[in-house]
């Protein structure tokens, strides 16, 4: 997609860490002009310094996807510096790992405000010009949680189910205008999202240790630790899949990332709900109390 005669412009949210940072660097290395956004000025400064050292066409902007004015200013800043946005990568997001009954309503709202309404806010700011130009590409970072829900992931999974539904609608609605919508569905990848999740869970310590779901927290987090230890996929691996989705002349509707995501997608198609439930309960050590 990028070439020597026409440099494409990428706006990427959640670029200060993890998958977003890796994708921003890789796309800049491949010749795209990348604008990476985030809320942490310190982390963004580190990304921009890395880009400067490598002489990469990567700039950063402070932008809060939860704030209308911040998004408007961010998109206007990109257009004033580089013109039209060719690729939007909606990556900003985080995950609560708390049982449905325990998670407070204000935290449910926070989960959706970033993962869903933030994505909507940025996309609505960018899509009209893409539609008018009849070209552009939307890369939506979803998750295996977007089609498979496991214990303690109700809020996060619900937000990613919403991302899947929005992306499916956009894929049809924007087809007449030449704007393509692509889903990226990573499985478990070690990145900053786990540290953020652990920090968010601190306010629920009493519930985690002594509440009715204490046993479930222990078994589920033990399983997550095993998965983390076995995980071989890196943020850079995911970035290469994102780059493939950006570059492909005929991109697929969705790209699973990690062997777990591919297995889960395959299993979802062939297993009954009863069989899938048994598999999940075994994986997470869930048994019926006697």
Give domain 9-283's CATH superfamily. NAD(P)-binding Rossmann-like Domain (3.40.50.720)
Domain range summary for the chain, segments of one domain joined by +: 9-283
Handedness of CA 76, 78, 82, 85 (dihedral sign): negative
- Do the Cβ atoms of 159 and 116 come closer than 8 Å? yes
- pLDDT over 60 (residue 284): yes
Residue 259: the pLDDT is 78
Residue 192: the pLDDT is 67
Report the distance separating Cα 65 and Cα 182, nearest Å.
20
Question: Cβ contacts of residue 148 below 8 Å, gap of 6+?
Answer: 157, 264, 268
- pLDDT over 80 (residue 1): no
Average pLDDT in the 189-204 region?
79
9's tokens: 């412009």
- 213 by Cβ neighbours in 10 Å (0-12 / 13-18 / 19+) ranks as middle
290 pLDDT tier (thresholds 50, 70, 90): low
Residue 3: the pLDDT is 44
Average pLDDT in the 41-64 region?
96
Average pLDDT in the 44-71 region?
97
pLDDT: is 148 or 88 the higher one?
A: 88
Q: Give percent of the chain with pLDDT exceeding 90.
A: 77
Residue 214: the pLDDT is 94
Tens-place pLDDT, residues 106-136: 999 999 999 999 999 999 999 999 999 999 9
> Mean pLDDT across the chain, nearest whole number?
92
Question: Cβ contacts of residue 176 below 8 Å, gap of 6+?
Answer: none
Catalogue the active-site residues.
Answer: 156
- pLDDT over 90 (residue 140): yes
């Amino acid at each position: 997609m990028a070439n020597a005669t026409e440099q494409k412009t990428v706006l990427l949210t959640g670029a200060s860490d993890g998958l977003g940072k890796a994708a921003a660097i890789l796309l800049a290395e491949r010749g795209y002009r990348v604008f990476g956004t985030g809320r942490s000025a310190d982390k963004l400064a580190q990304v921009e310094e890395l880009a400067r050292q490598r002489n990469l066409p990567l700039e950063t902007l402070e932008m809060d996807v939860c704030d209308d004015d911040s998004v408007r200013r961010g998109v206007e800043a990109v257009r004033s510096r580089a013109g039209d946005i060719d690729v939007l990568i909606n990556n900003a997001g985080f995950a609560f790992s708390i049982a449905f009954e325990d998670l407070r309503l204000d935290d449910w709202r926070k989960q959706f405000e970033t993962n869903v309404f933030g994505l909507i806010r940025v996309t609505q700011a960018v899509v009209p010009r893409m539609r008018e130009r009849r070209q552009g590409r939307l890369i939506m970072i979803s998750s295996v949680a977007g089609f498979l829900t496991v214990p303690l992931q109700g809020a996060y999974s619900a937000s990613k189910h919403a991302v899947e539904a929005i992306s499916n609608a956009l894929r049809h609605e924007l087809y007449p205008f030449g704007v393509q919508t692509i889903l990226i569905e990573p499985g478990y990848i070690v990145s900053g999202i786990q540290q953020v999740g652990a920090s968010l869970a601190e306010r629920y310590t009493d519930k985690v240790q002594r509440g009715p779901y204490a046993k479930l927290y222990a078994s589920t987090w033990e399983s997550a630790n095993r998965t983390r230890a076995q995980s071989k996929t890196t943020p850079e691996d995911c970035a290469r899949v994102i780059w493939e989705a950006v570059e492909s002349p005929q991109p697929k509707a969705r790209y699973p990332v990690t062997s777990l995501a591919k297995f889960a997608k395959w299993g979802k198609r062939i297993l009954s709900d009863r069989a899938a439930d048994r598999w999940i309960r075994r994986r997470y050590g869930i048994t019926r109390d006697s």
